[in-house]
Amino acid sequence: MNLLGTIHSPADLKALPPADLPQVCAEIRHAICDQVSKSGGHLAPNLGVVELTVAMHYVFDFSYDRLLFDVGHQCYTHKLLTGRLPLLPRLRQRGGMSGFPEPRESKYDLFTVGHAGTAIPTAVGMARGDSLNGEGWTSDQPNGRRTVSLIGDASIVNGVAMEGLNNAGTLKRQFLIILNDNGMSIAKPQGAVSAYFDRLRLSHTYGEFKKRAKEMAKRMPGGESLKDLYHRMGESSKAFIAENHWFEHFGLVTVGPIDGHDLPTLIDFLNEAKHFDHPMVLHVKTIKGKGYEFAENDACTFHSPSAFKIETLENEGCKVEMKKGGRSFTAAFGDILTSLMERDPKVVACTAAMPDGTGVNKVIDKFPTRVWDSGICESHAFDMMAGLAKTGWKPFFALYSTFLQRAFDQAFQEGALQGLPVRLCLDRAGLVGGDGAVHHGFCDIALLSVLPKACIMAAMDESSLRACIEFMNEYSEGISSVRYPRDSVSARFEDVPCPPFEMGRARQLVGHNNPDAAILSFGVCAIDAAEALAILSNDHMQSDGSENEREYAVELYDARFAKPIDCDLLCRLLGNGIPVITVEDHSIRGGFGAAVLEACNSLGLDTRLVTRMALPDRWIYQGERKEQLAEAGIDGASIARTIRALLDGQSVAAASPAVVSTM
């Protein structure tokens, strides 16, 4: 009998006898692996928390109690238990199940979550709010709401998580932090805290515990006796209270580690934690990729794989073949950085827990004394790079665009204000596809453009990325950045020589003697704009070989720089009355097009001739990247429609949702 198909809510799970839960876990694992093999998604993190999530929903009532996820990519089991099994076949696709907690989908998801470190602080806030509302659970209020925060994949080392821990210990009510310790983040976890968990040893005797009770009680909020706390805990927890655990210093009673795949033990401990009215950490050891040998043995590759095929071969066991796409910008960047570091011994590099996702994995082993993975702490990583710049090195910090804002204060204070040349390589810029709104890189230009002497660039293909990195290596006036998408590099212009980057100078891709209009594209949007011109050219030719009356002569430029803007080009185009269309995969607010308008205003140019195409001022959710580009109205077809409307004197606003025209 299929049990998973009978579970439409956690109430159905609770109705099952404990003996049926292992079968539920096995069916969940199969469902997740089967779907991720078809659509891609976060595999190993979700396989590792199946038993833990089943146990949490078996013990707590999260239709009333609070469950907060950290990072969020470990939520698939939670979603399948809360009525979203029908959405699984379209995982990370339009109309399907988001790969992260999503309140639009279900009341069981409290926050849209995609960045690390947030679960404990938001849980503290909800616990305080419930208490202020008279709804927080304590032993004196047994009908109150309980709060559970699940944190894992090494995000406990994130600075925001630390700040949350510091406040969690001051709560005077039930508050449970479950530390999912799988010995991994996306890559091997980094830093002293991670090393501490690897070395952790526990006391298993009541006698040893009592020796430390008085000392530890002095550090507990309100001076409550730890001995009293100990006696209020269940028998199974007593033997596992941690000796000299790191969390004690935050005022948190710590239990564990326990086996995160042992359902009866998990249920016992969670039942005790459920009735414990003091902040507690339950340390759970799990195996990332649990249940599938290929995922357990290579949790980095199967953290978030693309679609793959599993074959069982006679005498060879299980073979997994990943579906291959084109050469990615990430792979190109890794090779370019490797070449640069071989030629320039002053270049150093860093990433924040994303060595594979940024391509830095290609240089970590080759240059172990010049490359670092700082763990999930972008703020620290930027400051470390600033310190290296101050001592004469050439630092390149590779990170996802969506995580840049976590280091903006450091970019301002320790980078730009000091005039230090920290070089930012922003992967996953623009629309990211299946990860959806939590991971779109839509605001990096807006953030960095306010910083004096910041040099902001974008790459349209591999050769332009190489030229940009070479330029950044020599730029020493301040922060520099280059953005590129989670996509394959285009070969459209691979046979055209790529000139070096020159400060504030655009590159012409398509020219005309007497242009009707000009497109200034930023980054990979040049490829979509070139497609638009091809569409217009094809439309001009009839099927019988004859020509339409209307032919559009449109120039195309790769702008290269959002700061500084190519003012000479603007003066030449707008000064001659040539309409300009800007195209970018960044927010319409504060992006490249906005910088063009500001430059035109300063130069006294007619801004009515400028039409901007960019990401609209609303959220775009999960789906294929090409679908998102179409929804945003910045794909080739949308650009072509906008050009037609503009040059035919029609409304450009009707042509694309991303158009803002000043004409």
Query: Which one of the listed residues 66, 84, 406, 483 is annotated catalytic?
Result: 406
Nearest CA among 156, 148, 192 for reference residue 58: 148
Nearest CA among 322, 43, 32, 299 for reference residue 186: 299
- In a shared domain, residues 452 and 514: no
Q: What is the CATH number of the domain that holds 563?
A: 3.40.50.920
- In a shared domain, residues 33 and 121: yes
Average confidence (pLDDT) over 181-203 = 53
Summarised one tens digit per residue, pLDDT across range 243-269 is: 456 787 888 888 888 999 999 999 999
Indicate the range of 9-13, 288-292, 345-349, 467-471 predicted with least confidence.
288-292
Global confidence as pTM: 0.86
Do the domain assignments include residue 20? Answer: yes
- In a shared domain, residues 99 and 152: yes
Instruction: Give the per-residue pLDDT at 507.
Output: 98
Average confidence (pLDDT) over 146-157 = 87
Instruction: Give the per-residue pLDDT at 314.
Output: 58
* % residues pLDDT > 70 (the chain): 86
Do the domain assignments include residue 454? Answer: yes
Instruction: Give the per-residue pLDDT at 323.
Output: 72
Instruction: Give the per-residue pLDDT at 214.
Output: 38
> Which residue in the block uniquely carries the two structure tokens 């990072």?
71
Average confidence (pLDDT) over 528-553 = 77
Question: In sequence order, which residues have a C-beta less than 8 Å from that of residue 434 and are 6 or more positions away?
Answer: 39, 40, 41, 91, 92, 93, 99, 622, 623, 624
Instruction: Give the per-residue pLDDT at 394.
Output: 98
Query: Which one of the listed residues 378, 462, 555, 631 is annotated catalytic?
Result: 378
Indicate the range of 294-298, 394-398, 409-413, 431-435 predicted with least confidence.
294-298
Instruction: Give the per-residue pLDDT at 187.
Output: 54
Q: What is the CATH number of the domain that holds 460?
A: 3.40.50.970
Indicate the range of 61-65, 292-296, 579-583, 630-634 predicted with least confidence.
292-296
How many domains does one find in the chain? 3
Contact 372, 501 (CB under 8 A): no
Nearest CA among 571, 534, 569 for reference residue 552: 534
Residue 575 identity (one-letter amino acid)? G
Q: Which residues of 365-374 are buried (b: 16+ CB within 10 A; e: fewer)?
A: eebeebbbbb
Indicate the range of 197-211, 265-279, 618-632 predicted with least confidence.
197-211
The pLDDT-based confidence of 468 (bands split at 50, 70, 90) is very high
- In a shared domain, residues 453 and 528: no
The pLDDT-based confidence of 226 (bands split at 50, 70, 90) is very low
Q: Which residues of 559-577 are buried (b: 16+ CB within 10 A; e: fewer)?
A: bbbbbebbeebbeebbeee
Do the domain assignments include residue 266? Answer: yes
pLDDT at 557 over 90: yes
- In a shared domain, residues 453 and 543: no
Do the domain assignments include residue 492? Answer: no
* 414 classed as catalytic: no
Instruction: Give the per-residue pLDDT at 225.
Output: 45
Neighbours of 531 (CB within 10 A): 17
Query: Which of 255, 285, 315 marks a domain boundary?
Result: 285
- In a shared domain, residues 275 and 362: no
- In a shared domain, residues 451 and 405: yes
Summarised one tens digit per residue, pLDDT across range 91-118 is: 999 989 999 999 999 999 999 998 889 9
Summarised one tens digit per residue, pLDDT across range 284-299 is: 999 999 999 888 888 8
- In a shared domain, residues 472 and 531: no
- In a shared domain, residues 107 and 241: yes
Do the domain assignments include residue 293? Answer: no
pLDDT at 560 over 50: yes
Instruction: Give the per-residue pLDDT at 152.
Output: 85
For residue 564, say if its preceding peptide bond is cis, omega within 30 degrees of 0: yes
* 406 classed as catalytic: yes
Range of the domain at 41: 4-285
Do the domain assignments include residue 69? Answer: yes
Do the domain assignments include residue 349? Answer: yes
Q: Which residues of 291-305 are buried (b: 16+ CB within 10 A; e: fewer)?
A: bbebbbeebbbbbbb
- For residues 516 and 304, give the distance between their C-alpha atoms in angstroms, rounded to a whole number: 46
Query: Which of 253, 285, 317 marks a domain boundary?
Result: 285
Query: Which one of the listed residues 146, 285, 288, 370 is annotated catalytic?
Result: 288
* % residues pLDDT > 90 (the chain): 74
Average confidence (pLDDT) over 439-461 = 97
Average confidence (pLDDT) over 169-190 = 80
Do the domain assignments include residue 308? Answer: no
- In a shared domain, residues 476 and 619: no
> Which residue in the block uniquely carries the two structure tokens 């969020």?
72
Angle between helices 625-632 and 636-647 in degrees, nearest 10 = 20
Nearest CA among 584, 301, 619 for reference residue 436: 619
Q: Is the dihedral of CA 178, 180, 181, 184 positive or negative?
A: negative
Instruction: Give the per-residue pLDDT at 362.
Output: 94
- In a shared domain, residues 538 and 471: no
Nearest CA among 193, 158, 72 for reference residue 438: 72
The pLDDT-based confidence of 542 (bands split at 50, 70, 90) is low
- In a shared domain, residues 163 and 20: yes
Mean pLDDT across the chain:
88
Query: Which of 259, 285, 311 marks a domain boundary?
Result: 285
- For residues 636 and 530, give the distance between their C-alpha atoms in angstroms, rounded to a whole number: 8
How would you classify the pairing of strands 394-400 and 423-427? parallel
- For residues 68 and 221, give the distance between their C-alpha atoms in angstroms, rounded to a whole number: 24
* 218 classed as catalytic: no
